[in-house]
């Protein structure tokens, strides 16, 4: 019987993989990420029945157009949760009620992962004193997480951060084979359009402007050059007075754009 043998990821193969990941997604994998890349690639290699990193690199070379999506899906970090960095949702509610309550508004959740951020935004809009219509576009480069987001089905533990009243209003409790899961109700799901979008792609084209853009815990994976390009895109997609929410650990430092600091990692276009 063949015993699977997963050797170490060599410097040459690591460099090959990280150059491709950077070119395709803007995600910068430093030397320190070697163990992480190694374990993430292993998952994909198991699916393919490949036992050597070098063999996987050859497979990728030979099947580039088909395999690149799987490579990006296995490399991205998708950690998220409902009402993550909670203070931002109070700020969002305040902005909606004080400045936008009579408008039709558009919100973009960029790097939405499995959808919890976009659903949390939609819940805030429903719970706010708000008389307009709204649409939310939620995008990610990872096609696997987008599928989870579209399904809107989460383990019950993931939704337990919500108050019981919100849970009852916006989720259905799974039964039989869905026991242990909560499903987003259709009226909430219908407010969000989940789409594939690579922030690095110079030519992506979303319709219209966005009053508010959330791009939290995405740009930490980019280097300064890519961050500056993406920030410029966000700047162009915001109207004057529009808001940009970054992750708690992120800030606009050197993009040379007239963003005004409003609150912890929240900026307004001037």
Ligand X SMILES: C[S@@+](CC[C@H](N)C(=O)[O-])C[C@H]1O[C@@H](n2cnc3c(N)ncnc32)[C@H](O)[C@@H]1O
- Tell me which of 140, 142, 211, 216 is the catalytic residue: 140
Minimum Å gap between C-beta 25 and ligand X is: 4
Half-sphere exposure of 159 (CA within 13 A, CB side): 24
> Is position 115 an interface residue for ligand X (rule: CB under 6 A)?
no
Which one of 107, 122, 181, 217 is in contact with ligand X (CB under 6 A)? 217
- Contacts to ligand X from residues 142-171, by CB under 6 A: 142, 145
- Contacts to ligand X from residues 22-41, by CB under 6 A: 25-27
The 3-state secondary structure of 28-95, one letter per residue:
CCCHHHHHHHHHHHHHHHHHHCCCCHHHHHHHHHHCHHHHHHHHHHHHCCCCCCCCCCCHHHHHHHHH
Which one of 198, 229, 257, 268 is in contact with ligand X (CB under 6 A)? 198
**For tokens 């408008």, what's the residue?**
103
Minimum Å gap between C-beta 210 and ligand X is: 15
> Is position 227 an interface residue for ligand X (rule: CB under 6 A)?
no
Q: Which residues have CB under 8 Å from 49's CB, separation 6+?
A: none
How would DSSP label each residue in 160-212?
TTS-HHHHHHHEEE--GGGTTEEEE-HHHHTTEEEEE--TT-TT---SS--SE
Query: Which bin fits 93, alpha (ψ -120 to 50), beta or left (φ > 0)?
Result: alpha
Q: Pattern of binders to ligand X over 54-93, x per CB under 6 A?
A: ----------------------xxxxx---x---------
Minimum CB distance to ligand X smaller for 25 or for 50: 25
Minimum Å gap between C-beta 4 and ligand X is: 28
40 assigned to active site: yes
Query: Structure tokens of 74?
Result: 């296995």
Minimum Å gap between C-beta 246 and ligand X is: 9
Q: Which positions are annotated as active-site residues?
A: 40, 140
- Contact positions vs ligand X (CB under 6 A): 25-27, 76-80, 84, 111-113, 117, 140-142, 145, 197-200, 216-218, 221, 247
């Amino acid at each position: 019987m063949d015993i699977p043998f997963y050797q170490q990821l060599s410097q040459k193969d690591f460099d090959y993989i990280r150059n491709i990941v950077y070119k395709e997604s803007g995600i910068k994998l430093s030397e320190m990420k070697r163990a992480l890349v190694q374990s993430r690639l292993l998952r994909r290699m198991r699916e393919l029945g490949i036992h050597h990193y070098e063999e996987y690199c050859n497979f990728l070379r030979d099947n580039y157009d088909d395999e690149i999506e799987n490579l990006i899906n296995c490399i991205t970090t998708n950690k998220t949760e409902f009402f993550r960095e909670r203070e931002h949702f109070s700020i969002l509610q305040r902005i909606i009620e004080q400045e936008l309550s009579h408008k039709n508004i558009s919100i973009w959740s960029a790097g939405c992962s499995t959808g919890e951020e976009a659903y949390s935004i939609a819940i805030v809009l429903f719970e706010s004193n708000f008389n307009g219509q709204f649409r939310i576009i939620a995008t990610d480069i990872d096609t696997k997480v987008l599928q989870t987001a579209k399904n809107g089905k989460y383990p019950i533990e993931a939704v337990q951060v919500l108050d019981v009243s919100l849970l009852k209003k916006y989720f259905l409790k799974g039964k039989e084979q869905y026991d242990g899961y909560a499903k987003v109700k259709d009226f909430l799901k219908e407010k969000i359009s989940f789409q594939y979008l690579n922030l690095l792609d110079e030519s992506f084209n979303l319709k219209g402007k966005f009053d508010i853009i959330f791009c939290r815990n995405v740009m930490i994976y980019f280097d300064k050059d890519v961050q500056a390009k993406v920030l410029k895109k966000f700047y162009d997609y915001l109207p004057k007075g529009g808001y940009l929410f970054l992750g708690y650990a992120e800030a606009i430092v050197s993009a040379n754009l007239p963003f005004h600091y409003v609150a912890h990692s929240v900026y307004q276009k001037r």
